[in-house]
Amino acid sequence: MGSMDGPTPTTENGRTARTNTTCNGNKQQQKIQSDDGFDLSVVAADKENEVFRKGKPGLLPLEVGTRVMCRWRDGKFHPVKVIERRKMVSAGPNDYEYYVHYTEFNRRLDEWVKLEQLDLDSVEADVDEKVEDKATSLKMTRHQKRKIDETHVEGHEELDAASLREHEEFTKVKNIATIELGRYEIETWYFSPFPPEYNDSLKLYFCEFCLNFMKRKEQLQRHMRKCDLKHPPGDEIYRSGTLSMFEVDGKKNKVYGQNLCYLAKLFLDHKTLYYDVDLFLFYVLCECDDRGCHMVGYFSKEKHSEESYNLACILTLPPYQRKGYGKFLIAFSYELSKKEGKVGTPERPLSDLGMLSYKGYWTRVLLEILKKHKSNISIKELSDMTAIKADEILSTLQSLELIQYRKGQHAICADPKVLDRHLKAAGRGGLEVDVSKLIWTPYKEQG
């Protein structure tokens, strides 16, 4: 779920790392600094002192699972765990590259590094905690397991714990490093299960309109001469200024739906890759100009959800992040639910970023209404007005300490000063959805 242009990601040790993404339309650069201004390199240095120095011969090549210090793009050493290794082309017997996970950072920063970036004096004695890892894989919920099953390329057999583990191993290593999409070259964040024939490509070229992908620039150029799409397939259901939203039925546009999933997975860690795109509608947000409609982000939605999910996956593409599009997509999903006359909720699990974005949305929407209606409104009425589930309204208001119990009943506190303070803390709402520009009827199965 959800990569959003919202709050800051959290590193594994619970510290908050701020990822400043700047896009010059060509290259992304990321800087990491802890939220409280604490320099992460200090943590790294402390860690280094604890490490038993063990630069013994015969250490190379390093085993998968090895913990070692690695020089990152900030020029400083950070603790990493070796996830994978590979022999370098035209190299000596010990010339390997290592795929490492920076244990203090989000997995999106995992990368291939050269031996000279590693401080071999800092290699730790133990290799991998097999027991701990096994416990983690067995602790997966049925829901997570179902998702893994669906991600599995063959996807037909029930996976046992061992093959599940193997699958996890496989999906850990980023396969495609960059993509070209329209006028952007974008560094990818995560593994995506492209068909095997694409596994030897570090870079893929996407047609920004039909999302077909190719291994070579010349192939893309040839494709662009004959591709007649200038926007996503499907119906344009919203247009306001230069923004358009297209509704794409996964059943009618299977290839597009699959391409979109491959693309999205490059930026979503725990996304389910639905090969069965038939069951989904995709809402693709575009910025339009005289060259066409350029995809900014999207969300997917099950056509029928027994759990009243109104959103399955959500993504704002990196060049468009931090501009309020993620908030726009969330707001849009609720506008659709309102038109359907149903309450809706995002599919779980939500990423930490996703949860923060949703809490911000719920807070802004509910508090704006409370400001107008004072206390004279019930949770049920709030739910009817907003399509937000009653228990999510209650938990949002409780977490803001706006619910008081009086004589066995709960009452909503609507002190304007308190509401304003919370609204300020919840941040800006991003781009507004202009409901008058939404021309849409809810999905109905065609007979």
Displacement of CA 302 from its chain's centroid (Å): 18
* CA–CA gap between residue 263 and residue 164 (Å, rounded): 23
CA 33 to CA 400: how far, in whole Å?
28
Residue whose CB is less far from Zn ion, 177 or 227: 227
Work out how close the CB of 284 gets to Zn ion at its nearest, in angstroms, rounded to a whole number.
Answer: 14
Question: How far is the C-alpha of 4 from the C-alpha of 357, rounded, in Å?
Answer: 8
Distances (CA, A) of 204 to 43, 209, 223, 254, 397: 37, 15, 14, 20, 46
* DSSP conformation class of 173: S
**Shortest Å, Cβ 226 to Zn ion:** 8
Binding site for Zn ion (CB under 5 A): 207, 209-210, 227
Query: How far is 334 from 127, CA to CA, in rounded Å?
Result: 48
Compare residues 205 and 238 and give the one whose CB is closer to Zn ion.
Answer: 205
The CB-of-212 to Zn ion minimum distance in angstroms stands at 5
User: What does the CA dihedral 362, 273, 104, 72 come to, rounded to 10 degrees?
Assistant: -120
Shortest spacing between CB 364 and Zn ion, in angstroms: 38
Nearer to Zn ion, 190 or 209 (CB): 209
Establish whether 97 is a catalytic residue.
no
Contacts of 162 (CB under 8 A, 6+ apart): none
Rank residues 105 and 205 by Cβ distance to Zn ion and give the closer one: 205
Q: How far is the CB of 290 from Zn ion (least distance, A)?
A: 18
Structure tokens given for 395: 């938990």
- Out of 150, 347, 368, 445, pick the active-site residue: 347
Dihedral angle of Cα 346, 351, 352, 355, to the nearest 10 degrees: -10
Question: Whose Cβ is closer to Zn ion: residue 209's or residue 262's?
Answer: 209
Torsion sign (Cα): 317, 322, 323, 327: positive
What is the identity of the amino acid at 356?
L
φ, ψ of residue 24 in degrees (nearest 5): -100, 25
CB nearer Zn ion, residue 186 or residue 214: 214
Mention every residue, 6+ apart, whose C-beta is less than 8 A from residue 50. none
d(CA 67, CA 128): 8
Residue 261 or 312 having the CB closest to Zn ion: 261
CB of residue 267 to Zn ion, shortest distance in Å: 20
Q: Select 288 or 377, whichever has its Cβ closest to Zn ion.
A: 288
Residue 292 CB, shortest distance to Zn ion, in Å, is: 10
Closest to Zn ion by CB, 62 or 210: 210
Provide the minimum distance between the beta carbon of 228 and Zn ion in the complex, in angstroms, as a whole number. Answer: 8
Return all residues near 155 (Cβ < 8 A) that are at least 6 apart. Answer: 149, 275
Question: Smallest distance, Å, CB 259 to Zn ion?
Answer: 9
Spatial strand order of the sheet with 67-71 comes to 111-114, 96-102, 77-87, 67-71, 118-119
d(CA 283, CA 316): 12
Question: Nearest CA to 232 among 252, 215, 262?
Answer: 252
Which residues have a Cβ under 8 Å from the Cβ of 48 and sit 6 or more positions away?
69, 77, 119, 122
Q: Amino acid identity, residue 268?
A: L
Active site residues: 347
